[in-house]
Structure 1
């Protein structure tokens, strides 16, 4: 194999040693700033490549020509200062060393490699070229994306008032899809960071009652070659390549560093409106795919360090993507921690949701370690990350990969059990109401035994992955034909109910039932203790026409239809009203677990479970597998909360009652020792009278949820 595929101009740059250490410096102790750092007279480039024999920096001109120069070897690092190089310069690396795939060594200097610390990425991947694979000696330059030197700039202003976990309402959205069809956004800005920053877009979120926008992946990502071969893109973005670089195609202003400035301006606009920005981050795998995937960055720099390997140099995959990042290696964890801190300190973001987070806590033997994994310790001890929100998706597809409830402080978690329990109850497939009670009250069975609070539970009924809320009540089966995989992709465990007809219908009775079921699901989500996460469009009837795996649909299937807020104004109004109720009443968003006992002397229990007969639930009621009717009394005079100066807060008391059966249920309202009477605040069936006396027997309509405020 050739050791140099373009003319090497030699060490024409001043190589500046960063350390005088005589021994090879530790990967964590050098103090070197990795990546391309712009200085007054030029730029210093530093790459970690401990097993490399030689590293060339390739500076790429606008016409595609290259100027290559050798970097100086400093322990495990390669570094050099290049005078006259600054912001906007494109570059890559060529890393020399042994090529022995059976032993995990994949060095190949014919492959132009992206700097793992690149602050911006320019260019696309040429899926038709065999030169992107290390099985070819041909030069991959011109066929792969490259890094861009980016000068430092001021971070966005912080949010004026930090959002406490107890007040948080998360809205999961796609950066492109949310504004692609927005009529108020200028056409050239639709689907971009600038589009998200448009006042009409932010105003919609503010009016809805959202506190935190969670963006599907915006780390620079690529489409997998196998998906591109079907003529489709990776739309969701769960295929990262650049962990410091905002995805360039989401920029309306350019890809030579402009994407960085545009992203910062977007964050500033959200912060000015009081909305946090949370990033969905994918550190569990990279865009280089499996053993036979393209060589674009990490594989050619140090394959054995960056990836989990099996026998014979194969990739150990617990993500379903072909590779898994090796967080057992300290320098790989350093990359992740540096990336996280960069997005907080320089880019202004307020939190992270970690995709397939269990992969990140597998040890050197690939075993899950929820107690002593160094990644957990490093995150918990980091002062920068200590001030932002951290959310895990607590599973992967490997052995013992389902770890809901096991991440501990300071983590919140996607609560998959909440999703499953709420879906099962409302489709009348649950085993009674015992599990539902845990979910309504903050899932103390999952998070109450390790010092966490109810906001450790990120409650959701839908997410990007799966049916939308409208599709959840309209389809029993997935309809993924547009993905060109013969409908084999996507889960079959949808826990959905089509209300008697598969897909769209003109039947007014079915339409009315579906809308009521949507109202029931949305109300249960927002009124439950914990942090609600809404999926963009669920508040106004967005549909993917039964596609439950729209990861490759950059089309109307996935884009937000901005005609829906008017067409579904009733459901949108309900969602706004629910979020306003939650914001106005601390008793509906408590951030301490309930004790089931009086919290203040002479007060009522903070939480009481009410059976259909009007008394508290008995043991027999809890183990009645056919019971689908439940009341939840929240005492506003038993709040464990204080105002800004330490005064005890009180609130109204509420009774939430639900009937998930297909029949009307006669239920007894608790007697006057609870409250003398109640005002009906919400009724998804619109059938109950406006006021109810204590002790009265009232009909609870089929498949409905009612919220009553004590008078």
Structure 2
């Protein structure tokens, strides 16, 4: 190969970004606003020996570029950037450091932390102001030119569920199948396993429509985890924004095979009507704060890629809690994010994104802006306009809590729903004081947050547990966190997370405690699935999965973080399936318009809140201390649609209810105490069992 490399690089084109085969060669384009020169470094196929260096042409509008004739897919390369090394001004150029192309479609090598990955001398008294001249190429990750993929198979016929029909299932690719007995051992923990018939059968039986996958882009472990022999299991530390993570594939050492397996997984899920949404981390990179390494972005143009402290450009702005913050307000960084998103939709076939720490994407010099340029670009993009957009609407910066402020068709994680539902059903056991009014507001899609600017109830993504925090089983089994295995002396993870153990910490054989936990857990699941808005199940909650009270299992790539199929609660799984079926069957349980007052018009529905004695709730009722049971009646403007009555009783004792006139049939008793399809007596009274949610339908 050494002899076949051309003597010089041709000028090439300044677009598209990255390395792309064309016209009998490969075109390279890389952004840097402040570099003086960028070199393309070509390696042998193993990435161990540097064969030749070429200076790229440019810059052309901030892009260095070149065309290498006579080569093609399989070419391994890295970049070296020359420019000022003035950390105090935000410039961190160091040509001794081989840099990974941010737009790499394939990455070769196994990353390990080493001192020479830093642009400065570790341990030097001047810290980052010192300059390290060691070459890190031997240990650096390299990019490999990939075969052009074209459009993902079957993408144009992919399912597209209407917002009102979506039921999300947040799931970790590896954790779902690693201990699944119905999936061949060779596949467990992989993309292929998620598309195995046993997995698909579970998703279909459960009634979910859309898998929300924890990060699958190429991630590396943080140095403090590597030092402890732990890994970043969740993967919120992305380095390769165009590459599926090989750790989740069956053939880890072949990047092309990893990509093919991911595409096949998406196509198989699509064939069964299931959508795929990716959790993406466009808010920070593994390069950390100003003391971090120089792996890619920092070495190419630190001042453009990252937000720096305005009056001290030697320091990174840390709005993410991870050391650095991508500067998405920069046009080229915004372009990079949009290019990456388009790649995952067009070439990889996915159906949408959940944006981690999403306020970062809308941060300008004036704080978070719902009308930031990035959001405008995202919403008008012809390809991205078709997919689901979900925000985690908080980051770690000033005024970082932005629930309800994202634009247009964004859906948003609603943690106020989680806290209200947990507080209402756990009650005094968790020292929680949640009023009927707060619970009712969250149950009806949080109009105080989302009823503005043409947004609909489905904008509220409702959840009671997610990957970050306790599992639902642990919410009702532990009074405090048990994170010692993370190696941080139980200091990590959220303190004071709403939970209750009902008398015993952790597992117990006490039948009374077990019954209480079961009732509360089922009541919370029923509230989640039947509330207005978009429900999101945490994978494993339908099995009764526990993490032993660990509420921050991000580094637990073991039985703690994997789903426990051997101990799965089949009855609970059937219960969740019944809930999603009920939600589908009853139009008023997924009514994606705000409830209004009669008379209304076609397509409208009305809601009346009732006290247990059957009278309408008044202002003083909402604030009455000591009584938390109440009911809601939902009626459609269309008389052909059956009305519904939901009874909520979080109390430790059964609660008699006086029902509105008419005939009512029981559709659901979350406690399982009453006979199914029980019809109410003519007297119009029904006693709701302790800690239960009941649904009745007019007949």
TM-score higher than 0.5: yes
**1:138-287 alignment runs, 5 A limit:** 138-154=134-150, 155-158=152-155, 159-253=157-251, 254-287=253-286
Offset at residue 573 of structure 1 (A) = 0.6
1:461-494 residue CA offsets vs partner (Å, 9 max, x unmatched): 1100000000000011000000010000000131
Equivalent residue for 1:66, pick from 38, 50, 57: 50
The answer on whether the counterparts of 1:17 and 1:79 sit within 8 Å (CA) in structure 2 is yes
Equivalent residue for 2:554, pick from 546, 551, 555: 551
Does the C-alpha gap of structure 1 residues 431 and 205 become closer, same or farther in structure 2, counting only changes over 3 Å?
closer
Does the C-alpha gap of structure 1 residues 258 and 59 become closer, same or farther in structure 2, counting only changes over 3 Å?
farther
1:478 matched to 2:468? The reply is: no
1:363-387 residue CA offsets vs partner (Å, 9 max, x unmatched): 135x1222x3111211222221111
Distance 2:240 2:193 in 1: 22
Unaligned 5+ segments in structure 2 are: 121-131
The answer on whether the counterparts of 1:216 and 1:279 sit within 8 Å (CA) in structure 2 is yes
Equivalent residue for 1:663, pick from 647, 653, 658: 653
1:374 matched to 2:373? The reply is: yes
1:395-446 residue CA offsets vs partner (Å, 9 max, x unmatched): 1111111111111212110011111111110111234211111111121111
**1:287-306 alignment runs, 5 A limit:** 287-306=286-305
The answer on whether the counterparts of 1:351 and 1:388 sit within 8 Å (CA) in structure 2 is yes
The answer on whether the counterparts of 2:6 and 2:70 sit within 8 Å (CA) in structure 1 is no
Which residue pairs with 1:14 in the alignment?
9
1:540-589 residue CA offsets vs partner (Å, 9 max, x unmatched): 10100000000001000011122244xx1111110000011111222111
Which residue pairs with 1:123 in the alignment?
109
Distance 1:126 1:339 in 2: 25
Distance 2:355 2:110 in 1: 26
Offset at residue 66 of structure 1 (A) = 1.2
1:581 matched to 2:582? The reply is: yes
Offset at residue 340 of structure 1 (A) = 1.0
Offset at residue 627 of structure 1 (A) = 3.0
Which residue pairs with 2:127 in the alignment?
none
3-state DSSP of counterpart to 1:427: helix
Distance 2:275 2:390 in 1: 14
1:206-237 residue CA offsets vs partner (Å, 9 max, x unmatched): 11111000110111111111111111101101
Offset at residue 615 of structure 1 (A) = 1.7
Does the C-alpha gap of structure 1 residues 85 and 177 become closer, same or farther in structure 2, counting only changes over 3 Å?
farther
**1:196-595 alignment runs, 5 A limit:** 196-253=194-251, 254-310=253-309, 311-365=312-366, 367-370=367-370, 372-428=371-427, 429-565=432-568, 568-595=569-596
Offset at residue 528 of structure 1 (A) = 0.3
Does the C-alpha gap of structure 1 residues 478 and 89 become closer, same or farther in structure 2, counting only changes over 3 Å?
same
1:55 matched to 2:38? The reply is: yes
The answer on whether the counterparts of 2:655 and 2:689 sit within 8 Å (CA) in structure 1 is yes
The answer on whether the counterparts of 1:172 and 1:536 sit within 8 Å (CA) in structure 2 is yes
Distance 2:141 2:482 in 1: 34
Distance 1:161 1:138 in 2: 52
3-state DSSP of counterpart to 2:304: helix
Offset at residue 44 of structure 1 (A) = 1.0
Distance 2:689 2:347 in 1: 53
Deviates more, 1:175-184 or 1:685-694: 685-694
TM-score of the two chains, using structure 2 as the length reference: 0.93
Distance 1:346 1:244 in 2: 10
Distance 1:304 1:695 in 2: 74
Which residue pairs with 1:24 in the alignment?
none
Equivalent residue for 1:114, pick from 90, 100, 121: 100
Deviates more, 1:133-142 or 1:217-226: 133-142
Which residue pairs with 1:691 in the alignment?
679
The answer on whether the counterparts of 1:149 and 1:257 sit within 8 Å (CA) in structure 2 is no
The answer on whether the counterparts of 2:287 and 2:294 sit within 8 Å (CA) in structure 1 is yes
Offset at residue 650 of structure 1 (A) = 4.5
1:630 matched to 2:630? The reply is: yes
The answer on whether the counterparts of 2:481 and 2:550 sit within 8 Å (CA) in structure 1 is yes
Offset at residue 529 of structure 1 (A) = 0.6
The answer on whether the counterparts of 2:6 and 2:69 sit within 8 Å (CA) in structure 1 is no
1:496-533 residue CA offsets vs partner (Å, 9 max, x unmatched): 11112111111111111111111011000000011100
Distance 2:320 2:292 in 1: 15
Distance 2:629 2:441 in 1: 15
3-state DSSP of counterpart to 2:235: coil
Distance 1:380 1:432 in 2: 38
Does the C-alpha gap of structure 1 residues 694 and 494 become closer, same or farther in structure 2, counting only changes over 3 Å?
farther
The answer on whether the counterparts of 1:221 and 1:240 sit within 8 Å (CA) in structure 2 is yes
The answer on whether the counterparts of 1:631 and 1:658 sit within 8 Å (CA) in structure 2 is yes
Which residue pairs with 2:123 in the alignment?
none
TM-score of the two chains, using structure 1 as the length reference: 0.91
Deviates more, 1:430-439 or 1:293-302: 430-439
Offset at residue 688 of structure 1 (A) = 3.4
Which residue pairs with 1:26 in the alignment?
none
Distance 1:405 1:451 in 2: 12
Distance 1:93 1:541 in 2: 49
Deviates more, 1:104-113 or 1:590-599: 590-599
